[in-house]
């Protein structure tokens, strides 16, 4: 059973209908006991950060949410549910949030009047592996803990003293694990979804994690390149709406319904 947390933030029915469409059992609830007993938890929402935090306190849901995440239950945040898992949001004059992920939530400040706020519509998500980009082709810049390998072809690029294999068929690796050759990302929730796929966004603020290792996907809009997907351990969260993102959004929800919380 998947519990969809009801904290008066809307968008609950569309998530439930999307899960039911793919045959996944779920319930909308604000009962702490039901949330704690669930196999998986979805934390959706639309609205403002201050009102969301007020509702979470009044409904006594903050501790159950923290407990669910700390004990390893697969947890999916969506839109506002993604923003309030951070430490602080600039919204409503500044709002302290739950603090499940390090960093802040910032407002778009576009220099081009054509970049309308909120962002409403489809936009691409580029996958990341613990904050680092997947090598997209043989001309991509391979990186070793954030630092680019030398471009000089006569030099021997090294990572912690070890030479990078010259064989172009060598498998790029992220934290010891090979990058999938189909570029479907190193996170189980992106299985079967192509890097650069477009998802549906509606938001005026965006996540800015202080630890790049939390960034599992990035998107560009209004002078900002922001973390549109957050992940660590059993915690996964998207700024976009998978339940409104058609086939690929349903695929992500299907992946979540099968995920054991390990990455």
Tokens of 18: 């999307």
Angle separating helix axes 49-58 and 62-70, nearest 10 degrees? 90
Provide the CB-side half-sphere exposure for 185 (13 A, CA): 28
Q: How many helices (H) and strands (E) does the chain have?
A: 6, 21
Q: Which residues lie below 8 Å from residue 7, measured CB to CB, with a gap of 6+?
A: 30, 45, 52, 55, 56, 59, 61
For the chain, how many residues are written? 263
DSSP class of residue 180?
P
Active-site amino acid positions: 79, 241, 243
């Amino acid at each position: 059973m998947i519990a969809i947390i009801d904290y008066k933030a809307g968008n609950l029915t569309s998530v439930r209908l999307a899960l039911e469409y793919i045959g996944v059992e779920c319930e909308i609830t604000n009962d702490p006991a039901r949330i704690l007993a669930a196999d998986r938890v979805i934390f959706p929402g639309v609205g403002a950060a201050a009102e969301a935090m007020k509702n979470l306190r009044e409904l006594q849901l903050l501790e159950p949410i923290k407990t669910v995440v700390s004990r390893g239950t697969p947890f999916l945040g969506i839109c506002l549910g993604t923003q309030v898992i951070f430490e602080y949001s600039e919204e409503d004059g500044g709002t302290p949030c739950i603090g499940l992920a390090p960093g802040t939530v910032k407002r778009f400040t576009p220099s081009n009047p054509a970049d309308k706020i909120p962002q409403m519509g489809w936009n691409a998500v580029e996958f990341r592996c613990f904050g680092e980009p997947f090598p997209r082709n043989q001309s991509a810049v391979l990186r070793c803990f954030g630092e680019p390998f030398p471009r000089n072809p006569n030099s021997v690029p090294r990572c912690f003293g070890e030479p990078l294999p010259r064989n172009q068929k060598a498998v790029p690796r992220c934290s010891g694990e090979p990058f999938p050759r189909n570029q479907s990302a190193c996170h189980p929730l992106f299985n079967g979804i192509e890097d650069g796929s477009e998802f549906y966004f509606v938001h005026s603020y965006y996540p800015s994690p202080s630890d790049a290792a939390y960034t599992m996907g990035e998107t560009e809009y209004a002078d900002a390149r922001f973390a549109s997907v957050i992940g660590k351990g059993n915690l996964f969260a998207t700024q976009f709406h998978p339940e409104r993102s058609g086939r690929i959004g349903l695929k992500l929800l299907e992946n979540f319904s099968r995920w054991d919380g390990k990455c």
